[in-house]
Amino acid sequence: MTSRDPLLRFEGAARAYGDVLAVAGVTCSIAAGSFVALVGASGSGKSTLLKMVNTLVEPTAGRVLFGGEDVASLHPAHLRRRVGYVFQGIGLFPHMSVAENIAIGPRLTGEKLPDKRIAELLELVELEPAMGSRMPDELSGGQRQRVGVARALAGEPELLLMDEPFGALDPLTRDALGTKVRELHDTLGLTTVMVTHDMAEALLLADRVLVMDAGALVADESPRALLAGAGGEIAQGLVSVPRQQAERLAALEGVGETRR
């Protein structure tokens, strides 16, 4: 692989469940270092596409290449170490401490993560190292998601997959964690693919936005291009939501000004 090759490539990747074509043949390349948001209506195939990357879902046609190799040919434990995965509701093991949860990925590949490294990972997501000894049910939802991010980063992955990671959080925590993840993406030199229902979040955090509809990729644009009207009808329908909200807020502010 040369530095010009994409880190991730979908080649006609498709997944059927009986008669339902969840992903209908997606072809696209994701360059190393990019932050990609994957958006689209509920049921459009975003999670299925993401799960094909770490082999939680097998394609029924086509393939997914990671670093030039078909993911199906890579050892699952090693692949999952190179690919961090964060999802909503995070799935921390309730009977394990925060530190044990963070260390679980490397443990599966036979490595014991030193305490110092666990403390470092907690600091990376702005949690006190002392949190390591707590149990998951002693944390807030936002803190749990931070632990989820620390766990995904424990194996020093090249690729970070995030599936609605901040969906259940209050807006302030969501905003802070989104900004933190973008910062980590930049400082750690990650490649990130994030599924989100929130177009404003996609536009603000990502370099590139992929839009799915009924299993197909219908737009692939930069946030700037989307805001300038590119991407077609479905993409523009999604962009119109935060835009109209911003306009309504601006109008409200204007009303306040004239009343004062």
As measured in angstroms, the least distance from the Cβ of 90 to ligand ATP is 15
DSSP assigned state of 93: -
Tokens of 68: 């030039």
Q: Which residue number, 44 or 192, has a Cβ lying nearer to ligand ATP?
A: 44
The single residue listed with the structure tokens 């509809």 is 213
- Closest to ligand ATP by CB, 46 or 185: 46
Strand partners, 1: none
Give min distance, CB of 252 to ligand ATP, in A. Answer: 30
* CB of residue 120 to ligand ATP, shortest distance in Å: 33
Token representation of residue 60: 């029924």
Question: In this structure, what token pair is assigned to residue 128?
Answer: 């006190």
Chain positions contacting ligand ATP, by CB under 6 A: 17, 20, 22, 40, 42-48
Question: Is 198 or 221 the residue whose CB approaches ligand ATP more closely?
Answer: 198
DSSP per residue, 136-150? GGGS-HHHHHHHHHH
Query: Minimum CB separation from ligand ATP for residue 258, in Å?
Result: 41
Three-class SS of residue 34? coil
Instruction: CB nearer to ligand ATP: give 120 or 220.
Output: 220
Cβ 174 to ligand ATP, closest distance in Å?
16
Query: Which residues are bridge partners to 64 per DSSP?
Result: 10
Q: Cα separation of 239 and 199, whole Å?
A: 6
CB of 33 to ligand ATP, least distance (A): 25
**In terms of CB distance, is 119 or 239 closer to ligand ATP?**
239
Structure-token match 């992929």, residue found? 210
Residue 134 CB-density burial (10 A; 0-12 exposed, 13-18 middle, 19+ buried) = middle
Instruction: Give whichever of 43 and 62 is closer to ligand ATP, judged by the CB atom.
Output: 43
3-class secondary structure, 14: strand
